[in-house]
Amino acid sequence: MSNVLSLKTSYYEALKRLTLELAGVNLGDDHAFLVETRLSALARQEGYQNLTQMIDDLFGQGQTRLAIRVVSALLERDTHFNPDPVGIETFETLLLPELYKANPLAKLRVLSFACSSGQEPYSLSIAVDKFLKDKENFSVEILGVDYPSPALSRAKEGKYTHFEVQRGLPIRDLITYFDRAGEDWIVKPSISQRVSFEEFHLLSKPDGLGQFDVVLFRNSLAHYSSPARIRVIRSLASVVKHEGYLMFGSEEKLPTTNHNFDIVPNRPNVLKKHAEEIIPPPEIELPKAPPKEYQPGQSPAERA
């Protein structure tokens, strides 16, 4: 670590362990500067004189609330509108039409998992708006969840700087779906009314969130440790409705297959849940025979 940083190496290592334990995310060895910048800002917000004081308190007194705040600050991601244009296009031109065809009177529920500052849920809502046009009885609600953080508070506000709205958002969408608010831009009520946000610990059980027709968890898998990745994917799979979709980032390789999902043709990052739960057959219980003693020189066939 560089000498200009005030954070001790041992503290940095402890923060890496904390992030792995609480969020299942591996912080790289080269994130020291980012950690210092983000946590210094948090220390000021929390009323500490400096970062070291906050870290001393964190590890000395084991404050759970502070630990969550620290991990949330470390995991805040820089997201864009239409962060993955192929994904939004798939949602708009494939998933929405399929779900509409299945039930034109449905009220769809969409989950944007790890939504950060909200650009993905709002991009989805814009896609919904374009799709809905003449479909009066079909409606969609979008829920964005992430750790409690300033990013999530900004998501709830729906207000973005002129730099943020220019990253990923076509100009026609900007003037159609946003209003100017001084130097910033704010999402129009027609788009924000179908979007809500909730604070949520991404490794906890999502049962309380309900069931969803589409669940999106994109471009975050790579940061998770293997056990955390499996845990998150299992959790998400459990909240997808039957015949609903689970969608990852276009570039992401799915770490595992699940017997209740099929990969959608030509969309390797999109899984569709089967209409009915497939319960794997129970393992056949073999009759318990007394184990035969192993005799030296006996072949396996002779022992059987």
Applying CB under 8 A, which residues contact other proteins? 80, 85-86, 162-163, 166-168, 170-172, 174-175, 180
Please, what is the minimum distance in Å from the beta carbon of residue 170 to other proteins? 5
Please, what is the minimum distance in Å from the beta carbon of residue 231 to other proteins? 31
In the bound state with other proteins, the residue whose beta carbon lies nearer, of 167 and 201, is: 167
In the bound state with other proteins, the residue whose beta carbon lies nearer, of 85 and 255, is: 85
In the bound state with other proteins, the residue whose beta carbon lies nearer, of 163 and 294, is: 163
Please, what is the minimum distance in Å from the beta carbon of residue 28 to other proteins? 22
The 3 state secondary structure assigned to the chain is CCCCCCCCHHHHHHHHHHHHHHHCECCCCCCHHHHHHHHHHHHHHCCCCCHHHHHHHHHHHCCHHHHHHHHHHHHCCCCCCCCCHHHHHHHHHHHHHHHHHHCCCCEEEEEEECCCCCHHHHHHHHHHHHHHCCCCCCEEEEEEEECCCHHHHHHHHCEECCCHHHCCCCHHHHHHHEEEECCEEEECHHHHCCEEEEECCCCCCHHHHCCEEEEECCCCHHHECHHHHHHHHHHHHHHEEEEEEEECCCCCCCCCCCCCEEEECCEEEEEEECCCCCCCCCCCCCCCCCCCCCCCCCCHHHHC
Please, what is the minimum distance in Å from the beta carbon of residue 122 to other proteins? 16
In the bound state with other proteins, the residue whose beta carbon lies nearer, of 158 and 244, is: 158
Please, what is the minimum distance in Å from the beta carbon of residue 167 to other proteins? 5
In the bound state with other proteins, the residue whose beta carbon lies nearer, of 40 and 250, is: 250
